[in-house]
Amino acid sequence: MTIVLRAGATVRLAGWMTLFGAATLMTVSLAEIVGYIGALHTSPAAMAEISYALISAVQHLYFIVAAPALRLPLGLVILGSAVLPRILGYLALVLAAGYALAGVITLLDLTVPAAVQISASVQVLWWLAAAGTFIMRAREMPSPEVFRAVSPSRGKERRDACDRGVFGLRARRGPTALMPRSEVRTHATGKVC
C-alpha cells in the first residue's frame, strides 16, 4: 500500500490492481488457514482428509492467481515511478510470471511439489530488498502530507519551469509524460508540476 501511495498510483489502474491483488492474496491465505484449522478437528472422520485436500487446492490457487495478481501490477507501479529502483519492478514482473508458470505446470499434481513451494520463499528476498531500499530512500522522499498540501500548477511560469526540469524532472519524457500535470512530482521537493 505504501509503495502505491508514494508512487502516486492510487488513481491509476495499476495502483487499483495492486490493491485488488493484495486483497486476493489475503483471501487465499485466509482460505489456506481455514484448511489448517479444519485439519485439527476429528469430527466427522473425513474432516482431516478434506482439509488437506482444501489446503492443496488453495496452494495451487496461490501460485496461479494470488501471487501474480499482486506482483504484476506492483511491478508496473514501480516501473511507472521512481519510488524504488526499476530493477525491483522488473523482478516483480519476473516473479509474477514464474509463479503463474509454476502454478499452471503443477496444476494436475494433487499437491504442489516441495521444490515449487520452496521457490515461493524467493519473494522474501524481494520484500527485504524493497523494504531496505525504501527505508534508505525515505529521507529523500517527501511525506504524503506534502503531496496533499501542494496544489496543482499555478500558471504558465510554473508549467514552463516544470517542463524545463527546474524541479528535478526531465522535460516530461518517460513514464511521467502521460501523467496529468497534477500527478507529476519530484522526490526532492514534493512540488507538483
Beta bridge partners of 22: none
User: Cα separation of 85 and 156, whole Å?
Assistant: 32
DSSP letter for each residue of 76-88: HHHHTSSSS-HHH
One-letter amino acid identity for 84?
A: L
Whether residue 188 lies inside any domain: the answer is no
Are 159 and 81 in a shared domain?
no
Give yes or no: residues 163 and 86 share one domain: no
Q: Within this chain, do residues 9 and 83 fall inside the same structural domain, yes or no? A: yes
* Most confident of the following: 16-30, 45-59, 101-115, 174-188: 16-30
Could you tell me which of 102, 104, 110 has the C-alpha nearest to residue 55? 110
> Residue written as cell 500500500?
1
Residues in Cβ contact with 53 at an 8 Å cutoff, skipping those fewer than 6 apart: none
Angle of the 67-79 helix axis to the 13-39 helix axis, nearest 10: 150
Considering the domain boundaries, does residue 192 fall inside one?
no
93 domain-assigned: yes
Closest CA to 6 of 180, 141, 105, 160: 141
Model confidence over 20-70: pLDDT tens digits? 999 999 999 999 999 999 998 888 888 988 998 899 889 899 999 999 999
Cross-strand partners of 192: 185
Q: Which domain holds residue 130?
A: 2-137
DSSP 29-74: HHHHHHHHHHHT--SSTTHHHHHHHHHHHHHHHIIIIIHHHHHHHH
**Same domain, yes or no, for 43 and 120?**
yes
Q: For residue 44, is the peptide bond before it cis, meaning its omega torsion is within 30 degrees of 0? A: yes
Kindly state the average pLDDT of the residues 94-120.
Answer: 89
- DSSP letter at 174 equals G
Number of domains in the chain: 2
Domain co-membership, 92 together with 75: yes
Residue 32 forms part of a structural domain: yes
With cut-offs at 50, 70 and 90, classify the pLDDT of residue 171: very low
Maximum mean pLDDT: which of 39-43, 126-130, 188-192: 126-130
Cβ atoms 52, 35 nearer than 8 A:
yes
Are 21 and 83 found together in one domain? Answer: yes
- The answer to whether residues 97 and 149 belong to one domain is no
3-state DSSP call for residue 185? strand
Residues 121 and 179 in one domain: no
Q: Which three cell numbers stand for residue 39?
A: 485439519
Residue 6: inside a domain, yes or no? yes
For the chain, the residue count is 193
Is the domain of 149 the same as that of 117?
A: no
